[in-house]
Amino acid sequence: MKNRDFHSFHIPVMGIGFTIDTPVKVAHFGIDSVISIVDDIVIEQLREFYYGELGLEYTPIGKKDEDFRARRITDYLNLVNRMVQQKFEEIKSQNFDEDSELSKYFLLLPDASPIKQKYLWMLSETDDSKKSKIQQELKAAMRCGSIDVNIMAKVDNPQFDKAGNQLPEIYNDAMAALRGYANSELNSSIVLSAGLNPRLYAYFEQFADFYPDEKGFVKKKIILKVSDYRSAAIQGKMLAKKGLMISEFRIESGLNCGGHAFATDGKLLGTILEEFKNQKETLAAELFEIANQSLVQKNYHPFEEIPEMKITVQGGIGTANESNFLIEYFKVDSTGWGSPFLLVPEATNVDEETLNQLANAKKEDYYLSDASPLGVPFNNFRNTSSQKLLNERVEKKRPGSPCLKKYLEFNTEFTEKSICTASRQYQDLKLKQLEEQQLSKEEFDKKVEKILEKECLCEGLAIPAVIVNNALKKKQLRAVAICPGPNLAYFSGVFSLKEMIDHIYGRTTILNSLKRENMFINELEMYVDHLKKEIGKSIDEMSAKQIRYFENFKNSLLDGVDHYKVLFRKMKAETEDYKAKALKSLEQWENNILHIQIPGLEPVGSH
């Protein structure tokens, strides 16, 4: 692993509430993490909680207040920033005692870190004056973890006044969240995920913090979460035309991830990373040229040189060897470790009941569902308290959820104003429509099951933060939804922050006894299953366009297998036995793919 001063991993955004205050827990140890700012209601509850914890006066920002959503987000982020900075200064003021948080800061760093090596050298130094000088240098070298934020770009519903009149676009959900971040004190990054929103992208132009100053410094940077190179280039150029440079492309596995799963057209993570590796310098130069032309036109300071453009990756990483290979071979700047941190109470918010379920879960408890009102496949976990509540409502013949937060209202099938497909209103209307269609019992039951599967994610994914911090309001539901990636099946138990980081850096292993394939093969298996399911959905009536799509998907998988046959031989840290087994597994999956039949196409005998 190449030398780097600080951590080579980050904690991505998870759900709504799971990482909403993670920087308060880990940033003073130099660890970067991401806050979701989609839910200003839970943010307001945490504002009240943390003001109380700090003994400061809490002034509510109510829904009747002007621009309340943006103001809540701004004040919360400033509060988090102050808490993080205070903790950071506190540990810097400590002595290098064996059990101090100051010593923990350095011990958590990767062993190859020059700063950690300097710390270990300091411990062995016997000359007091030299030791004191090294300690001063160590403290001066410390950096705080970044307090990054996440916006789901498409979650940008309009807002209405009491009379039902639509408010100006700047009050839309994503627009207000962006404004809340832009007006904060933070010097960090905003992660844009879940699709392209031209209106939101244009709104960035209103805030000077996203543009370079005379020294080329950008106070607030932009990270694009993407699942393929083409999407990255399109969105990167769209923002560059506004003078906005992308500081990082955060590549996420299409299926081997937590939360919503945005499958590619059969392109596997390894082939996508190879394309980014080969095109990175060209793309950075193109974006630099486009952005500078725009900056000059806007009378902003142009960049004097191409600013740093990072490539990071997340989704299904499970071992130090996998993480190191991504860093060494693909030259990524950081690897994202998300779902495993759900088992680390020092880092994330998971209520005790759900934590115990995760700690003792079986592989089959993790599954890809249709639970999301967004209509996108959603990585889910069985028997959560949210699912139990959903089933109780069905049994009482009161299916659906009261829609209180309204962040996922996108359906206009029955109403002029959008409603959520997990809501009681929508499900009542949809079930009545089905009853009038004279369907067979089998078809009727199948469609009913799909309707009733939708969960209220706005509530379920946010409430853990409130439960863990004892900030529940009267009559507030405790039903928790959680969205871990399938890779969490290989971790069992509850872990300390040190144990998890030691695992990430290969100083220990906390994997359970379940047989685990390499992350690339695990993702390949998910894509094969995904292709089979998609073909199955259309098998009775498949258009020529669908046939071509499935054929291209299948060929992309086969190209990925060919790529992996070469790639696995380059994994220097793995044993020859490991590589031989991986190659054998690839051959089996290749055979499996070749035998997938697409109606309307002749079966292929070989690749």
Do 50 and 20 form a contact (C-beta atoms < 8 A)?
no
Do 135 and 122 form a contact (C-beta atoms < 8 A)?
yes
Helix (H, G, I), strand (E, B), or coil: what is residue 251? Answer: strand
Q: What is the pLDDT of residue 542?
A: 81
Give the 3-state secondary structure of 342-375: HHCCCCCCCCHHHHHHHHCCCHHHEEEECCCCCC
**How is residue 171 annotated by DSSP?**
G
Going from the first residue of the chain to its last (607 residues), give the mean pLDDT of each consecutive group of 10, the final group possibly shorter.
Answer: 77 96 98 96 96 96 94 98 97 95 97 96 94 96 97 86 87 95 98 90 96 95 94 95 97 93 94 97 97 95 95 97 97 96 98 96 94 90 93 92 87 90 93 90 90 91 94 86 96 98 97 96 96 86 88 96 96 93 96 90 56
Place of tokens 């988090």: 80
- Cα distance between residue 194 and residue 260, in whole Å: 8
Of 183, 181, 184, which Cα lies nearest the Cα of 192? 181
Place of tokens 């046939």: 547
Q: Which two tokens stand for residue 324?
A: 């190191």
- Cα distance between residue 387 and residue 61, in whole Å: 32
- Cα distance between residue 248 and residue 253, in whole Å: 16
Q: What is the pLDDT of residue 603?
A: 58
- Cα distance between residue 95 and residue 132, in whole Å: 11
Contacts of 400 (CB under 8 A, 6+ apart): 393, 422, 423, 424, 425, 426, 427, 428, 454
Q: What is the pLDDT of residue 410?
A: 87
- Cα distance between residue 607 and residue 593, in whole Å: 10
Bridge-based pairing of strands 147-152 and 310-314 is unpaired
Of 534, 460, 451, 447, which Cα lies nearest the Cα of 259? 460
Q: What is the pLDDT of residue 302?
A: 95
Q: Where are the beta strands (DSSP E) in 416-554?
A: none
Within 10 Å of residue 314's Cβ, how many Cβ atoms?
27
